[in-house]
């Protein structure tokens, strides 16, 4: 499921849960069809914007996939397009989205952390996506999540790469002062893994992991929540039975080598790097925990969004376009070459290539092929935000009553289309959530408290 | 005799260095193929996993890389990739700005404290509390209030350089021999003139010792501060290479930090010798 899919194809599912699509026998077949669809939808950038805008509209009109399919099957895509255009000026919305006004500021600074999750933000620089929109963006490597937070709050950066729970935490004032923050785009989906030290290669069952020491990159991260979720589903209480520490990613590999930790759930390139250096193996990819989970995000302060709407629009467009480019499997090798130099990720190109193409050594002697090991899809589903908040509450990071829905709406700007539609005097789409399942348990965001109560292992009372 | 001692010391130094390099080389060389792997799989793995090469780089790896850095010390490939010379230049510039600001504050204030017992007693509690604070503990506060990472780094250098200079100046000024002050008083020399012509020359060696301690601390702190805030500088370089797990470059950076620190210290040692006079 991708924002770049063709919403007028009755066979596509825009609201899927589980696997990236779930209709194919093999992943290869799925990839092939997706590639051809991508080609059809995204020929030329006008088409691509049309795709983004149309996806949002179709999602708004048909929150239920079944009814959209029935509609499309009965009238056909062309008629549907005409019908939708009649009461919603797709052409205008696309133009507004694509054109924008004069830029308030052209020299921008965008901070990033050197991990593959930042791929679209980084590659937009060497591959010219920023300059295409008249922006002179400097992408600046930053020393850690707390520093990136402080530098964006200080306005040294205009926008930044963040972990998708961070804008929520900042807005709610968890771990920092409350400052209204926005997350207009998800950077990557999937793309993390659990890596274990070589000595545990015969202890693959999580039930045997009592007493393990794990590392995650930051407390407010998908890594933390996914690792805790995975352990708890296997009956391990992450607060009692194991130790989970926040450790900067490069130190994870060094600590794994030094035998100080047993494993970690971390962003790449650190998982593949541990394999490359022969100190660990990849236990599972996080896509096996939650297929299509968001990880990192493109975030900006609410102030930047409101005071410089055109600059922000141009920046967001270049990011969305870079994300669309990164989404295509055939571009991944070229991207790996573009982001490997010291100015960007500073990693051996072969390591990045394994991560981005999904053909990788697992550390146990096998060459694995998982084309969507990491994928790129910018749509910030608000149900993602709600899920993240349930986990924040589950592990005691936030307490008391949480206004899940309003915070999600405030922070996860579900496509900027909504704002552009408002400017055109229209009502933005209502539906910005979708259901998904995490380790077989489905979640749709409508009843977070009930979902939270259903877990046996949790900290919150 | 001294000449031959110097010569012998040089020979021993060289022998120690050679021994160290040889031991290092032997400890880190690869042991050949370590495990059976298919060629397809081996192509995806690094030298540590395939050749059994130690994760620590050997002296020749470091030497080769160092030569590369020395050949192009001032290249600039964008905001995150600059030559070693540029990185060191940024660090030295930051240290100098913070340090000179500290000199401008600490020496007059030190004079005041040294010359006036009242101010000495009054300011003492503040100095005692502020002095032992680790410079890096100031970092979050500086970032938060100054809202500029480069200025914050300069501020941290300033705050850590101030105390040794302040205390040494105050001590030097306070312990100028009473006879000299009394002679000046008998000759009816004014306070300002007394400070410049009697006290300053007498206290100069102590003041310069304080300055020498300070520059050492400032150079220690800048590396840590730059690792924390990122951007540019040798500390950032170490952090960036650590992200890449490139121990070769980390070792080179350590070597450079040591050399620059030594140079800074030597410059001030020379100044100290210039102002010291035999009694």
Residues in chain A closer than 8 A to B247 (CB atoms): none
CB contact under 8 A, A346 and B77: no
Q: Which residues of chain B have pLDDT under 50?
A: none
Question: Hey, is the C-beta of B80 within 8 angstroms of any chain A C-beta?
Answer: yes
Residue, of A221 and A76, whose pLDDT is higher: A221
Question: pLDDT-derived band of residue A417, with 50, 70 and 90 as boundaries?
Answer: very low
Question: A148-179: per-residue pLDDT in tens?
Answer: 888 888 788 888 888 888 888 888 877 667 77
CA angle A351, A24, A359 (to 5 degrees): 10
Segments forming the whole domain that contains residue B206: 89-224
CA dist., res. A271 & res. A287, Å (int): 14
pLDDT for the residue A24: 54
Question: pLDDT-derived band of residue A247, with 50, 70 and 90 as boundaries?
Answer: confident
Closest chain A C-alpha to B158 CA, distance in angstroms: 21
CA dist., res. B167 & res. B146, Å (int): 27
CB contact under 8 A, B230 and A276: no
Residues in chain B closer than 8 A to A347 (CB atoms): 244
Question: pLDDT-derived band of residue A14, with 50, 70 and 90 as boundaries?
Answer: low
Please report whether residue B250 resides in a domain.
no
Question: Hey, is the C-beta of A139 within 8 angstroms of any chain B C-beta?
Answer: yes
CA angle A327, A328, A331 (to 5 degrees): 115
Question: Hey, is the C-beta of B248 within 8 angstroms of any chain A C-beta?
Answer: no
Q: Residue A102: what are its φ and ψ, rounded to 5°?
A: -65, 145
Q: By the 8 A CB rule, do A428 and A422 touch?
A: yes
Residues in chain A closer than 8 A to B230 (CB atoms): 140-143, 147
> At A136, which helix (H) or strand (E)?
strand A136-141
Q: By the 8 A CB rule, do A111 and A148 touch?
A: yes
pLDDT for the residue A150: 81
Q: Count Cα neighbours of B216 within 13 Å in the Cβ-side half-sphere.
A: 13
The CATH number linked to B183 is 1.10.3720.10
CB contact under 8 A, A344 and B41: no
Q: How many domains does chain B have?
A: 1
Instruction: Tell me how many residue pairs between chain A and chain B have CB atoms under 8 A apart.
Output: 103
Tell which of B230, B233, B239, B252 to mutate to test the A interface (max A CBs under 10 Å): B230
What burial class does residue A286 get, using C-beta atoms within 10 Å of its C-beta: 0-12 exposed, 13-18 middle, 19+ buried?
Answer: buried
Of A154, A279, A344, the CB nearest to B80: A344
CB contact under 8 A, A341 and B81: yes
Question: Hey, is the C-beta of B78 within 8 angstroms of any chain A C-beta?
Answer: yes
pLDDT for the residue B100: 93
Closest chain B C-alpha to A382 CA, distance in angstroms: 31
Tell me the β-bridge partners of A285.
Answer: A193
Given a cut of 50, whether residue A268 has pLDDT beyond it is yes
Closest chain A C-alpha to B161 CA, distance in angstroms: 24
Helices (H) and strands (E) in chain A, counts: 20, 16
Please report whether residue B156 resides in a domain.
yes
Question: pLDDT-derived band of residue A34, with 50, 70 and 90 as boundaries?
Answer: low
pLDDT, mean of residues A259-263: 88
User: Any alpha helices (H) in A42-64, and if so which ranges?
Assistant: 44-61
Question: Hey, is the C-beta of A333 within 8 angstroms of any chain B C-beta?
Answer: no
CB contact under 8 A, A366 and B41: yes
pLDDT for the residue A129: 83
Tell which of A140, A250, A348 to mutate to test the B interface (max B CBs under 10 Å): A250
pLDDT for the residue B115: 84
pLDDT for the residue B35: 67
Please report whether residue B97 resides in a domain.
yes
CA dist., res. A21 & res. A331, Å (int): 21
Of B34, B48, B227, the CB nearest to A277: B48
pLDDT, mean of residues A14-27: 48
Residues in chain A closer than 8 A to B242 (CB atoms): 250
Three-state SS at A235: coil
Question: A302-323: per-residue pLDDT in tens?
Answer: 788 778 878 888 888 788 778 8
Please report whether residue B143 resides in a domain.
yes
Q: How many CB atoms lie within 10 A of CB A289?
A: 21
Q: Count Cα neighbours of A212 within 13 Å in the Cβ-side half-sphere.
A: 27
Given a cut of 70, whether residue A421 has pLDDT beyond it is no
Closest CA to B229 of A56, A187, A150: A150
Q: By the 8 A CB rule, do A233 and A251 touch?
A: no
CB contact under 8 A, A342 and B240: yes
CB contact under 8 A, B243 and A346: yes
Residues in chain A closer than 8 A to B143 (CB atoms): 150, 154
Residue of B nearest to A112 (CA): B80
CB contact under 8 A, A341 and B77: yes
CB contact under 8 A, A342 and B80: yes
ipTM score of complex: 0.72
pLDDT for the residue B153: 87
DSSP collapsed to 3 states, chain B? CHHHHHHHHHHHHHHHHHHHHHHHHHHHCCCCCCCCCCHHHHCCCCHHHHHCCCCCCCHHHHHHHHHHHHHCCCCECCCCCECHHHHHHHHHHHHHHHHHHHHHHHHHHHHHHHHCHHHHHHHHHHHHHHCCCCHHHHHHHHHHHHCCHHHHHHHHHHHHHHHHHHHHHHHHHHCCCHHHHHHHHHCCCCHHHHHHHHHHHHHHHHHHHHHHHHHHHHHHHHHHHHHHHCCCCHHHHHHHHHHCCCHHHHHHHHHHHHHHHHHHHHHHHHHHHHHCCCC
Of A142, A278, A341, the CB nearest to B230: A142
């Amino acid at each position: 499921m991708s924002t770049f899919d063709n919403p007028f194809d009755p066979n596509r599912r825009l609201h899927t849960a589980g696997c990236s699509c779930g209709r194919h026998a093999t992943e290869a077949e799925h990839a092939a069809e997706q590639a051809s669809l991508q080609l059809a939808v995204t020929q030329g950038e006008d088409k691509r914007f049309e795709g983004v805008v149309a996806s949002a509209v179709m999602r708004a009109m048909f929150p239920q996939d079944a009814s959209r399919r029935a509609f499309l099957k009965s009238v056909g895509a062309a008629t549907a397009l005409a019908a939708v255009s009649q009461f919603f000026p797709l052409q205008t919305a696309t133009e507004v989205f694509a054109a924008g006004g004069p830029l308030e500021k052209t020299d921008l600074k965008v901070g990033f952390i050197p991990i593959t999750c930042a791929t679209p933000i980084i590659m937009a620089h060497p591959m010219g996506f920023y300059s295409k929109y008249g922006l002179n963006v400097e992408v600046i490597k930053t020393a850690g999540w707390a520093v990136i937070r402080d530098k964006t709050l200080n306005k040294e950066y205009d926008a930044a790469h963040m972990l998708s729970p961070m804008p929520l935490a900042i807005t709610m004032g968890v771990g920092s002062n409350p400052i209204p923050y926005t997350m207009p785009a998800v950077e990557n989906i999937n793309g993390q893994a659990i890596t274990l030290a070589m000595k545990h290669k015969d202890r693959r069952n999580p039930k045997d992991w009592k007493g393990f020491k794990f590392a995650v990159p930051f407390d407010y991260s998908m890594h933390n929540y996914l690792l805790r979720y995975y352990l708890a589903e296997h009956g391990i209480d992450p607060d009692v039975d194991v130790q989970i520490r926040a450790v900067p990613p490069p130190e994870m590999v060094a600590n794994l080598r030094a035998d100080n930790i047993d494993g970690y759930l971390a962003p790449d390139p650190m998982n593949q790097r541990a394999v490359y250096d022969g100190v660990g193996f990849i236990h599972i990819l996080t896509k096996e925990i939650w297929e299509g989970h968001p990880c990192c995000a493109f975030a900006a302060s609410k102030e930047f969004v409101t005071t410089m709407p055109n600059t922000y629009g141009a920046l967001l467009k270049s990011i969305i376009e870079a994300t669309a480019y990164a989404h295509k499997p055939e571009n991944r090798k070229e991207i790996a070459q573009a982001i490997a130099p010291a100015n960007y990720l500073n990693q051996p190109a072969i390591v990045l290539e394994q991560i981005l193409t999904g053909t990788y050594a697992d550390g146990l002697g096998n060459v694995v092929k998982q084309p969507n090991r990491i994928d790129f899809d910018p749509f910030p589903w608000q149900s993602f935000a709600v899920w993240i908040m349930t986990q924040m509450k589950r592990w005691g990071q936030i307490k008391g009553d949480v206004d899940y829905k309003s915070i999600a709406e405030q922070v996860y700007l579900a496509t900027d289309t909504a704002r552009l539609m408002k400017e055109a005097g229209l009502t933005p789409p209502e539906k910005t959530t979708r259901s998904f399942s995490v380790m077989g348990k489905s979640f749709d965001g409508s009843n977070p408290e009930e979902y939270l109560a259903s877990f046996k292992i949790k900290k919150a009372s | 005799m001294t000449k031959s001692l110097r010569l012998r010391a040089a020979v021993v130094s060289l022998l120690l260095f050679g021994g160290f390099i040889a031991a290092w080389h032997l400890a880190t060389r690869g042991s050949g193929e370590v495990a059976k792997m298919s060629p397809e799989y081996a192509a995806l793995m690094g030298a540590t996993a395939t050749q059994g090469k130690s994760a620590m780089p050997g002296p020749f790896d470091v030497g080769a890389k160092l030569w590369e850095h020395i050949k192009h010390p001032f290249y600039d490939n964008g905001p995150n990739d600059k030559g070693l010379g540029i990185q060191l230049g940024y660090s030295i510039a930051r240290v100098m700005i913070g340090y000179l600001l500290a000199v401008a504050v600490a020496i007059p204030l030190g004079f005041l404290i040294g010359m006036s017992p009242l101010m000495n007693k009054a300011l003492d509690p503040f100095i005692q509390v502020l002095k032992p604070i680790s410079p890096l503990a100031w970092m979050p506060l500086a970032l938060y209030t100054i809202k500029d990472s480069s200025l914050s780094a300069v501020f941290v250098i300033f705050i850590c350089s101030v105390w040794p200079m302040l205390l040494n100046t105050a001590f030097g000024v306070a312990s100028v021999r009473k006879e000299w002050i009394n002679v000046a008083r008998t000759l009816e020399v004014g306070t300002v003139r007394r400070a410049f012509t009697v006290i300053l020359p007498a206290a100069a060696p102590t003041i310069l010792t304080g300055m020498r301690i300070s520059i050492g601390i400032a150079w220690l702190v800048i590396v840590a501060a730059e690792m924390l805030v990122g951007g540019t500088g040798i500390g950032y370089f170490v952090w960036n290479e650590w992200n890449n797990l490139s121990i070769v470059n980390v070792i080179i950076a350590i070597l450079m930090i040591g050399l620059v620190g030594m140079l800074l210290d030597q410059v001030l040692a020379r100044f100290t010798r210039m102002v010291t006079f035999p009694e």
